[in-house]
């Protein structure tokens, strides 16, 4: 037998072996999904980093016997890009409200069975009714909420910068300003400054905003990607466009820092819990979501991340310092002017992105 | 009269020494800062607040970070090994043989260098979900398979390039002489070519290992719930800022690397002594 | 008993098949999907219809994007040049180091690069920022200088203004050089190592100075290594997006940042694909040209 043929024989055998293994693998996956089999006690949770309480996951495992495996993503875009081609095995995800709308339109989410989530009663009612991105909360439930505003260093500003003017249209703080680099967040808050709704999808308004920012660009030190609080803390900038929760976190380390929501109003968001289509353990997912809305769990989470919580029962358990914190819970009159961003369609998204590219290139 | 320095002893020239010193300083100053901040008593790594060891404690208790570590190292090792084989073969192929479609093949091997990472990441994502679905429930380390494959695809051209440059200066006649003396192709390869490209393999292997260990974009798109790697984990911490825990992890990684390299070099010098002695 | 030609063929196949099969299945196939996308358009948020349209390429060739391409090529070019200048003496030093020192020096060069990119960048930020170490040291030196001046009786220097070394193009270039230096040093080392040192000695004996020797002997002989080093440095630098993102200022946008936004924020995969492929065609064209021009030349001086 020549060496050639021998090589072929062995390779054929190994191919068959490989096929066999693959077949077994596929059949096993098949049985896992079959309806009559109970779900294995596992849960794949796709979350932002440190966006959970210190012991929340262990507490859940203790209470239910389900093992939680938490993986991390850094931006909503990444979450969407990953799920777009098919769910690689996540059970619970934490998308931002704007992305919930996109995902519903793209048919990427499972509807939530509210009957299986009795702890919904712990959520403040306005979050259940006021959710233009997910009417009736069919697909998502609020995990935290946030609002964008101006973080600033008290000793370096002449007065409280409670208007977008100081970031977008003035050289009072030239070279000490940082704004967000996300096109939607940046431009749509400009719309608020220009006196319009941030859901106003008109190209003329966008052009106006772009021109204003292009003029302002020499005064801007950096376009930050969600680390604006670090820039403020380390003294790189004195005024920064950031989320209230991020600023609240660094206020613990530096008394000289404060936060204000501009009087023109700003963009508010929610981070939500949702179940993507194709989740391997949907029942466990529902149990997990229900657990999150327990008052004690909510308290544990909020103590760690210090973001405003929509869980009324949990908020009631938090210390007064948290509930009265004007940064975490800005005053109602200015919150009334804040809006949730709707998904304005692919054409406007394209315009937004091009405007950003032009702005950065100018 | 001052002692004349031998002409090739570049390292005695003060200019070279000063240059080396400056370069190493430039490379290491930020790292020293990094290691120093792993002892920082604050949640941030940008402002110093005091000395503490608690982040090292946290690190060793942080299972997910350690798992991500382990995953990264495994992927890097396996991907480097495969890249070395495929890269070396690719370089030898282009150097030794003339065949039809050679330029096309050469182009295909160079292409991975040129593709933007995110484009390749998306390509791999689409491939592993639509064309060749990789089962999600494989046990470790097979569940890292799709990541390893993706890494090899972008690492091996670097190996091929480095080995190719080395081969370009190789005298083909030596190999032909070996063959005339009766060696078959495999022996010629093993005893003549391999020792010659040895330094290039090491350089290429180091390069591939580095690239794999540090890769974020492509890994992000090919990883799933059970296959988080270290860069992916670190990058996802960006939103709430990098804590000293990550610095501690990096310090440990550096220490581990040093240990590995020392071991490798000790083994190599022992092997060299054997062949010389 | 296998004949000589049969054995030769087997050897050829053994060498050719693994890399070619790998490249086709695990690289060209996935890439082909994205290539097809570049001719498509979004029909919904997740589906792309491959309609054979050139609209994406037309858009990618608009002056806005061409300008960004040009800028990225410029920045990557400067980075490569700096890496070459900085890295060449280093590679030289490693090659001529004694057997004992050489592996240690190689390791010392590689070690920073086994640290995660993000963390290294944060460390660089800590050095370069307004209240960072660089400015700290400079301030200290300034104050010492000021004190010295008063000693001598001159006016002290004014207030120290910290240098803005971060959030601008300077920081991006520094960051890119920092990241890409070993990609230049390693191929240079691999090529210089093969150098026949007797040629250098001969040149010096014949009276040529160090620099002349370098220029006329070392560089031509090490040229393949230099060129690989340039390619391995330039191309990834061109495609870098984390470094400009984190270290750059408002106008430090590079083409990879734009491409990344298409695949993520803008959710416009066809356009992102078109931009990526345009980038690839251009880079690939440059590499092909160099391969074409270097064909037929002897690769080493041994042809003499």
In percent, the amount of chain B with pLDDT more than 70 equals: 81
Domain count, chain A: 2
Maximal CA-CA distance, chain B = 77
User: Among A222, A358, A360, whose Cβ lies nearest the Cβ of C167?
Assistant: A222
Q: Which residues contact B117 (CB under 8 A, 6 or more apart)?
A: B154, B215, B217, B218, C239, C241, C256
Residues A216 and A335 in one domain: yes
Mean predicted confidence (pLDDT) in A222-229: 84
DSSP string, A110-149: PPP-GGG-GGGGGB-HHHHH--TTSGGGSSEEEEEEEEEE
- Confidence label for A150 from pLDDT (cuts 50, 70 and 90): very high
**C32: closest CA among C23, C19, C41, C42?**
C23
Give dist(CA C252, CA C245) in Å, integer.
8
- Considering the domain boundaries, does residue A20 fall inside one? no
The bridge status of strand A140-153 relative to strand A67-73 is: unpaired
Give dist(CA B82, CA B152) in Å, integer.
7
- Please report the pLDDT score of residue B9 as a whole number: 62
Q: Which of A134-143, B35-44, C1-10 reaches the highest mean pLDDT?
A: A134-143
How close is the nearest chain A Cα to the Cα of C289, in Å? 30
> pTM here?
0.80
User: Among B43, B130, B220, whose Cβ lies nearest the Cβ of A85?
Assistant: B130
Domain extent at residue A48 = 34-140+274-323
Residues A150 and A263 in one domain: yes
Say how many C-beta atoms besides its own lie within 10 A of residue A339's C-beta.
17
- Is pLDDT of C58 > 50? yes
**B221: closest CA among A326, C11, C30, A202?**
C30
Paired tokens of C297? 């030349």
Q: For the segment B162-173, what is each residue's pLDDT rounded down to a tens digit?
A: 888 778 777 777
User: Among A105, A220, A221, whose Cβ lies nearest the Cβ of C45?
Assistant: A105
**A359: closest CA among C258, C170, C273, C262?**
C258
What angle, rounded to 10 degrees, do the helices at C63-96 and C255-263 form?
120
Is the Cβ of A76 closer than 8 Å to some Cβ of chain B? no
Contact list, C167 vs chain A (CB under 8 Å):
221-222, 236
Contact list, A234 vs chain B (CB under 8 Å):
44, 46-47
| SS3 state of residue A224 | strand
Contact C264 A80 (CB under 8 A): yes
- Yes or no: say if A247 and A229 are a contact pair by the CB < 8 Å rule: yes
Contact B47 A28 (CB under 8 A): no
Paired tokens of A156? 């370096």
Burial class (CB in 10 A: 0-12, 13-18, 19+), B101: exposed
Contact A84 C46 (CB under 8 A): yes
More confident residue, C179 or A24: C179
- Considering the domain boundaries, does residue B32 fall inside one? no
Domain count, chain B: 1
How close is the nearest chain B Cα to the Cα of C252, in Å? 18
Interface test with C, best of A236, A276, A351 (most C CBs within 10 A): A236
How close is the nearest chain B Cα to the Cα of C153, in Å? 34
- Considering the domain boundaries, does residue A204 fall inside one? yes
More confident residue, A27 or A182: A182
Mean predicted confidence (pLDDT) in A5-34: 39
- Please report the pLDDT score of residue A13 as a whole number: 41
Q: Where are the domains of chain C?
A: 71-129+165-251+280-296
- Please report the pLDDT score of residue B54 as a whole number: 81
Residues A70 and A102 in one domain: yes
- Please report the pLDDT score of residue A16 as a whole number: 38
DSSP state of C299: S
- Is pLDDT of B4 > 70? no
More confident residue, B271 or B101: B101
Residues A150 and A264 in one domain: yes
- Please report the pLDDT score of residue A9 as a whole number: 40
| SS3 state of residue A233 | helix
Residues A104 and A229 in one domain: no
**Phi, psi (degrees; rounded to nearest 5) at C48:** -120, 130
Between the CA of residue C110 and those of C96, C186, C188, what are the distances in Å?
A: 18, 9, 14
How close is the nearest chain B Cα to the Cα of C191, in Å? 6
- Please report the pLDDT score of residue B7 as a whole number: 54
Q: For the segment A287-305, what is each residue's pLDDT rounded down to a tens digit?
A: 999 999 999 999 999 888 8
In percent, the amount of chain A with pLDDT more than 90 equals: 32
- Yes or no: say if C185 and C87 are a contact pair by the CB < 8 Å rule: yes
Residues A157 and A183 in one domain: yes
- Considering the domain boundaries, does residue B49 fall inside one? no
Nearest CA in chain C to B206: C110
Burial class (CB in 10 A: 0-12, 13-18, 19+), A285: buried
Q: Which of A161-170, B228-237, C1-10 reaches the highest mean pLDDT?
A: A161-170
Q: How many CB pairs under 8 A join B and C?
A: 288
pLDDT averaged over every residue in chain A: 84
What angle, rounded to 10 degrees, do the helices at A345-361 and C255-263 form?
160
Distance of CA A337 to the CA centre of its chain: 21
Is the Cβ of A121 closer than 8 Å to some Cβ of chain B? no
Q: What is the CATH number of domain C71-129+165-251+280-296?
A: 1.10.3720.10
For position B182, which CATH number holds?
A: 1.10.3720.10
User: Cα torsion for A273, A275, A279, A285, to the nearest 10°?
Assistant: 60
Mean predicted confidence (pLDDT) in B67-86: 90
DSSP string, C177-227: HHHHHHHHHHHHHHHHHTS-HHHHHHHHHTT--HHHHIIIIIHHHHHHHHH
Contact B165 C228 (CB under 8 A): yes
Which sign, positive or negative, has the C-alpha torsion A279, A281, A282, A288? negative
- Confidence label for C303 from pLDDT (cuts 50, 70 and 90): very low
Contact list, B239 vs chain A (CB under 8 Å):
48-49, 74-75, 226
Q: Which H or E run contains C48?
A: strand C48-49
Residues A175 and A283 in one domain: no
Mean predicted confidence (pLDDT) in A66-86: 84
Round the CA-based radius of gyration of chain B to a whole number and report it: 23
Interface test with B, best of C88, C115, C213, C271 (most B CBs within 10 A): C115
Residues A155 and A234 in one domain: yes
Contact list, B105 vs chain C (CB under 8 Å):
20
- Please report the pLDDT score of residue A105 as a whole number: 87
- Please report the pLDDT score of residue A39 as a whole number: 76
Contact list, A182 vs chain C (CB under 8 Å):
265
Contact list, A24 vs chain B (CB under 8 Å):
none
Q: Which H or E run contains B154?
A: helix B145-168
pLDDT averaged over every residue in chain B: 78
Residues A312 and A200 in one domain: no
**Phi, psi (degrees; rounded to nearest 5) at B242:** -80, 120
Contact list, B129 vs chain C (CB under 8 Å):
none
Q: For the segment C210-254, what is each residue's pLDDT rounded down to a tens digit?
A: 777 777 778 888 887 788 788 878 888 888 888 888 888 888 888
Between the CA of residue C292 and those of C224, C287, C288, C295, what are the distances in Å?
A: 14, 9, 6, 5
Mean predicted confidence (pLDDT) in A12-26: 39
For position A84, which CATH number holds?
A: 3.40.190.10
Q: Which residues contact C143 (CB under 8 A, 6 or more apart)?
A: C160
Q: For the segment A327-346, what is each residue's pLDDT rounded down to a tens digit?
A: 888 888 888 889 888 888 88
- Please report the pLDDT score of residue B271 as a whole number: 62
Q: Where are the alpha helices (DSSP H) in A172-235?
A: 183-193, 203-216, 228-233
- Yes or no: say if B239 and A74 are a contact pair by the CB < 8 Å rule: yes
- A92: alpha, beta or left, given left = phi > 0 and alpha = psi -120 to 50? beta
User: Among C19, C34, C119, whose Cβ lies nearest the Cβ of B93?
Assistant: C19
Burial class (CB in 10 A: 0-12, 13-18, 19+), A105: middle
Give dist(CA A272, CA C282) in Å, integer.
43
Q: How many CB pairs under 8 A join A and B?
A: 92
- Yes or no: say if B237 and B253 are a contact pair by the CB < 8 Å rule: no
Contact A72 B220 (CB under 8 A): no
Q: For the segment A167-206, what is each residue's pLDDT rounded down to a tens digit?
A: 999 889 888 999 998 888 999 999 999 988 888 888 999 9
Contact B31 C115 (CB under 8 A): yes
């Amino acid at each position: 037998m020549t060496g050639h043929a021998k090589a072929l024989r062995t390779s054929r055998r190994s191919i068959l072996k490989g096929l066999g293994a693959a077949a077994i693998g596929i059949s096993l996956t098949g049985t896992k999904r079959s309806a009559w089999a109970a779900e294995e006690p596992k849960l794949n949770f796709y979350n932002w980093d440190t966006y959970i309480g210190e012991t929340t996951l262990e507490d859940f495992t203790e209470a239910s016997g389900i093992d939680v495996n938490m993986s991390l993503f850094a931006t909503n875009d990444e979450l969407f890009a990953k799920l777009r081609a098919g769910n690689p095995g996540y059970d619970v995800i934490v998308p931002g409200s704007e992305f919930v709308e996109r995902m519903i339109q793209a048919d990427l989410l499972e509807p939530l069975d509210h009957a299986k989530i009795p702890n919904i009663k712990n959520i403040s009612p306005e979050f259940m009714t006021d959710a233009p991105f997910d009417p009736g909360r069919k697909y998502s439930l609020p995990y935290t909420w946030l609002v964008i505003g101006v973080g600033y260093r008290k000793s370096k500003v002449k007065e409280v910068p409670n208007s977008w003017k100081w970031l977008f249209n003035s050289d009072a703080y030239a070279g000490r300003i940082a704004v967000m680099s996300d096109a939607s967040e940046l431009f749509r808050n400009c719309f608020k400054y220009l006196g319009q709704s941030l859901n106003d999808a008109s190209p003329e308004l966008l052009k106006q905003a772009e021109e204003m920012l292009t003029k302002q660009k020499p005064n801007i030190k950096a376009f930050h990607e969600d680390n604006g609080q670090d820039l403020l803390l380390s003294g790189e900038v004195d005024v920064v466009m950031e989320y209230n929760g991020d600023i609240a976190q660094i206020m613990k380390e530096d008394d000289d820092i404060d936060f204000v929501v501009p009087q023109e109003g700003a963009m508010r968001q929610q981070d939500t819990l949702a179940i993507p289509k194709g989740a391997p353990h949907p029942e466990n997912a529902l149990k997990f979501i229900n657990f999150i809305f327990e008052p004690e769990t909510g308290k544990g989470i909020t103590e760690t991340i210090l973001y405003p919580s929509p869980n009324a029962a949990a908020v009631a358990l938090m210390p007064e310092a948290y509930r009265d914190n004007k940064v975490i819970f800005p005053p109602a009159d200015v919150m009334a002017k804040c809006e949730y961003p709707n998904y304005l369609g692919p054409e406007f998204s394209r315009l937004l992105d091009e405007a950003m590219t032009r702005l950065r290139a100018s | 009269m001052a002692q004349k320095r031998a002409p090739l002893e570049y390292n005695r020239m003060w200019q070279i020494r000063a240059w080396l010193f400056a370069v190493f300083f430039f490379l290491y100053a930020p790292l020293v800062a990094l290691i120093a901040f792993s002892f920082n008593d604050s949640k941030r790594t940008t402002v110093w607040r005091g000395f503490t060891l608690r982040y090292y404690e946290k690190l060793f208790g942080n299972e997910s970070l350690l798992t991500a570590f382990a995953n990264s190292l495994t992927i890097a090792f396996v991907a480097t090994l495969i890249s070395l084989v495929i890269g070396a073969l690719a370089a030898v192929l282009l150097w030794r043989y003339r065949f039809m479609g050679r330029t096309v093949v050469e182009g295909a091997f160079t292409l991975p260098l040129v593709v933007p990472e995110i484009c390749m990441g998306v390509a791999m994502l689409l491939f592993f979900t639509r064309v060749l679905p990789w089962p999600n429930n494989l046990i470790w380390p097979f569940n890292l398979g799709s990541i390893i494959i993706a890494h090899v695809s972008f690492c091996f051209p670097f190996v091929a390039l480095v080995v190719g440059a080395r081969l370009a200066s190789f005298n083909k006649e030596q190999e032909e002489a070996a063959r005339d003396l009766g060696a078959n192709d495999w022996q010629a390869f093993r005893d003549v070519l391999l020792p010659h490209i040895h330094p290039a393999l090491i350089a290429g292997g180091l390069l591939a290992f580095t690239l794999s260990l540090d890769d974020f974009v492509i890994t992000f798109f090919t990883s799933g719930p059970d296959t988080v790697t270290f860069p992916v984990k670190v990058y996802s911490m960006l939103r709430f800022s990098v804590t000293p825990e990550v610095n501690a992890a990096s310090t440990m990684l550096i220490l581990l690397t040093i240990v590995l390299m020392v071991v490798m070099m000790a083994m190599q010098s022992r092997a060299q002594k054997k062949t010389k002695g | 008993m296998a004949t000589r030609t049969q054995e030769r063929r087997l050897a050829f196949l053994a060498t050719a098949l693994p890399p070619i099969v790998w490249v086709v299945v695990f690289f060209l196939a996935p890439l082909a999907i994205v290539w097809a996308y570049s001719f498509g358009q979004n029909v919904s948020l997740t589906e792309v219809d491959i309609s054979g349209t050139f609209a994406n390429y037309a858009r990618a060739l608009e002056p806005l994007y061409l300008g960004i391409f040009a800028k990225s090529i410029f920045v990557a070019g400067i980075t490569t040049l700096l890496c070459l200048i900085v890295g060449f003496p280093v590679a030289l030093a490693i090659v001529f180091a004694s057997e004992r020192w050489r592996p240690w020096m190689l390791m010392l060069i590689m070690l920073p690069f086994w640290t995660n990119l993000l963390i290294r960048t944060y460390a660089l930020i800590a050095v370069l920022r307004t209240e960072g170490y660089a400015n700290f040291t400079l301030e200290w030196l300034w104050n010492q200088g000021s004190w010295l001046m008063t000693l001598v009786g001159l006016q002290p220097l004014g207030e120290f203004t910290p240098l803005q070394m971060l959030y601008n193009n300077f920081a991006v270039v520094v960051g890119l050089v920092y990241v890409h230096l070993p990609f230049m040093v390693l191929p240079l080392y691999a090529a210089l190592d093969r150098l026949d040192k007797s040629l250098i000695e001969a040149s010096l004996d014949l009276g040529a100075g160090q620099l002349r020797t370098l220029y006329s002997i070392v560089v031509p002989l090490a040229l393949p290594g230099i060129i690989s080093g340039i390619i391995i440095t330039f191309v990834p630098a061109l495609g870098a997006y984390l470094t400009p993102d984190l270290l750059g200022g408002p106008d430090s946008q590079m083409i990879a940042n734009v491409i990344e936004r298409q695949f993520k924020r803008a959710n416009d995969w066809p356009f992102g694909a078109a931009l990526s492929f345009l980038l690839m065609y251009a880079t690939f064209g440059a590499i092909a040209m160099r391969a074409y021009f270097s064909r037929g030349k002897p690769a080493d001086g041994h042809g003499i």
